Structure 1
Amino acid sequence: MEKSKTLSSIRRDIEGHIGEKVILKANGGRRKILVNNGVLESVYPSIFVIRLEADTQRTVTYSYSDVLTKTVQLVFKG
């Protein structure tokens, strides 16, 4: 059984991976899952920013509550 996480613990976990490559799985709605590769660029108090590898000019932002509710899943490549 997975221990429940709080927003602050999720934020601390993500802060430790700044600059690392990540696989991003996001719920696109209507049973659509979007999968992208990117780099965790920066972390702010309520959001984090990922620069997508497919398009160097595009960044996406998500909140820590998206991770908590499993709307977004992050897999760190290390």
Structure 2
Amino acid sequence: MATKETLTKLKRNVENYLGQKVILKTNKGRKRVFVKEGVLEEVYPSIFVVRIDRGLISERKVSYSYSDILTETVEITLCCNDLKIQAS
């Protein structure tokens, strides 16, 4: 079970990459995995927000909780140096 300390440490790790380009790999179950590229835009106490640019006109924001990283539902990788953000 994830402790409050683990989630706080994970939040600090995510905060360090605020404003940087990331690759999101989301596991939607039944072998459905989606990979999206976006910018880590906002960090809140319980969630973080990534802005996904889908072309010239369309833009989308998605939010995930830090527990999604712990349960490996979401994997965040920095675009430039393949550094993964995960629970340690």
TM-score interval (norm. to shorter): 0.7 to 0.9
- 1:52-71 alignment to 2 at 5 Å? 52-54=52-54, 56-71=58-73
- Show structure 1 runs of 4+ deviating over 2 A: none
Question: Alpha-carbon deviations, 1:12-51, whole Å to 9, x = none?
Answer: 0000100000000001222100100000000000000000
Partner of residue 21, structure 1: 21
Matched pairs, number: 74
Gaps of 5+ in 2: 81-88
Report sequence identity in percent: 50
Deviation at 1:77, TM superposition (A): 2.2
Q: Which has the higher contact order (CA 8 A, sep 6+)?
A: 1
Cα distance in structure 1, aligned partners of 2:79 and 2:34:
18
Cα distance in structure 1, aligned partners of 2:26 and 2:73:
6
**Does the 8 Å CA contact 1:6/1:68 hold for their aligned counterparts?**
no
Is the partner of 2:28 in helix, strand or coil? Answer: strand
